[in-house]
Structure 1
Amino acid sequence: MQPSVEPSMLDVFNDNFDRAAQYLDAPEDLLESIRICHHMYSIQFPVRIKNKVRIFHAFRAEHSHHRLPTKGGIRYAPNVHLDEVAALAALMTLKCAIVDVPFGGAKGGIALDPRDYEADELERITRRYATELVRKNFIGPGVDVPAPDLGTGEREMAWIADTYNMLTPNSVDALACVTGKPITQGGIRGRREATGRGVQYVLQEFFRHPDLVKRAGLSGDLAGKRVVVQGLGNVGSHFARLIQDDGAVIVGIGERDGTITAPRGLCLGAVLAHRHETGSIRDYPGATTLERPADCLELDCDILVPAALENQITAHNASRIRAPLIVEAANSPTTSEADAILRQAGKIIIPDIFANAGGVTVSYFEWVKNLSHMRFGRMAKRVGIQTHQRMITGIEDLTGSVFPQTLRDDIVHGIDE
């Protein structure tokens, strides 16, 4: 008997697209033009690594140009391939449309494991990739604007922005060629935790709808809800920290090296400290360690948040998922077959194209900031401070009371980016 093969991300996207298309009164040729990925770029380039030339395989896909520029992350992972980035680009188009951000969808990646390379080697690889994108006009403030994804972060985005700036020296908007940059290099405050915070906001909104909460067999708000998080990367770690502040209880965490669970709750800060010291979440004091990373998906909990990789919930394990509410913080963590099984079982799924749209939303603000060459609030800040000072002084004169200094400072200075 041949072992079953899990569907690719592109297969899952096409299956879900076909299911959604059934609800639309649209011509078949129009639907097909929406489905297809317009531009796909496959690159092979050499980079010298430890006195040996290595060939790297990289990709960039632009799914839809109905709005420009296109927008999507760059991931570094060993199994990156063209179909995967095409599917992720299609998901980005839908994600941007749902949150009404004026971008088309795109995605890119390089087939490598960043843990296998030193920082200077990754810099050479990243800069060469950026150079190839510039050569083919697959990057630019008004063309295609990458961002961080799996295996990349602020550092890689800074390298790409610097490379683009060197290759287009007369471009005054060069910093807008990429988002997710460090604050000191054109970035924006809040971008790093934006995706995780977006997942938190989605959950908060869910619990404002009593009918949905009742359908999930839950009650009340987030406080006291048992949450399992798969993946402690940028998205999962920030989400877990924020959700703990809302009073939720993290009862399980899954990482690439296994799962830890504690019915009474895990302290995220202590778990992160343990991982920093030992290199693993395994054998965290007071928790039970399970061998498989996917074991966390089957734990007893109220809310399951897959925040790791695609195709984690499949037809093989969907029937064993016990959480009544699933929030897709990763890109396409549930296959179409598993989605049908879960819904048949009465589970509620908040899809990735809505749940993890916080990153592209804040990326839009960074892009606008780079194009305007002015940080948000700069023009109105001084006027606002003067207005608030006069208001506080007037209230104090009328009432004879004095505002506490901390409250005064909060009111006068307001919020930042």
Structure 2
Amino acid sequence: MTYVKAEHNVKLSRNVEGIAPSGIRRFFDLASSMDNIISLGVGEPDYTTPWNVREASIHSLERGLTSYTANAGLMELREEISRYMEERFQTTYDPADEIIVTVGASEGLDIALRAVVDPGDEVLVVEPCFVSYAPLVSLTGGVPVPVPTSMENNFQVSVEAIRERLTPDTKAIMLSFPNNPTGAVMGKAELEEIAALVKEHDLVVFSDEIYAELSYDEEHVSTAALEGMWDRTVLISGFSKSFAMTGWRVGYVCAPAPYAKAMLKIHQYAMMCASTMAQYAALEAMKNGRQEMEEMIVSYRQRRNYFVESLREAGLECHSPGGAFYAFPSIRATGMTSEEFAEKLLIEQRVAVVPGHVFGAGGEGHVRCSYAASMSQLEEAVDRIAAFVKNVRN
């Protein structure tokens, strides 16, 4: 049978048409077509998920636990998340109606925004930031308003920068510390200043704390743990980074019941529930995964120290990231844009990094390098980067 294509005017959402594809993906696609590549572009641990965590998922299959869970997730997992949040970050959430297990932290952020933001609402987005923040705001009909940071201030956001961008339409602010792509962290005193402003203007805070455990120089302070901030904070986190579980796609949202109830409506219609087998893996990680996590953190700290110092020796100015597993060196001394630098480095030296502009306008002049790679790879990558920078300057 022969089918004839009929003429049809494609009717797409204006919101979707207005969003550009991920700037990270283009470099991944280009790198995948080349050989002898050292990739510092992927934002995930180089560790395999610990065996006991994988075994818990396999065991759940062997026991025939393949049905849906409750929409909000396994109660036992939510109870463990509740204990974990209280023990580690001094924030208390009722597992019955204040915690939702999501399909990665990405879904958690999506349903949080959709539950709070109406068309026309402005959401302050601290930049540089993860590539999905502004597009997700736009998909709600909201207006993302960038709040810039700079290397001169270690990429910490100031109260003054936030205040300058407040308008009567501002409804919420997006915070992400430790930060992707800069590795910046915020101390308690700085967060308390922001909290005072948030309370003064009655804002909602979306706090992406997926890298909370990967804090190297000081203890992570959760926004929700600050005085007067619990009831106005939606906290998003997950298992991908700290527990080396990126492909499992398990995250969670912690929020006061009215927010959680609204998010659950969206989650139950869009996702039903997170993968049952992945939830059992996450449960094991919560119960028995702390030791492996601590070992990873020690290793990341060592890699950070080596990599940042090596970049400086190669002639690239770089602040010391206090968390996550990214360095965000300045490449302005080369005279190239971040796109030009990343593309030429990939072609000439086979090292993949991410151009900083994809993380917002404030990222221009920088590139993101993940040091969640083996030391041997980092050493070779630094040699190649140093050779590239020397050649450019000559």
Q: Which has the higher strand share?
A: 1
Structure with the larger RCO, 1 or 2 (CA within 8 Å, 6+ apart): 2
Structure showing greater radius of gyration is: 1
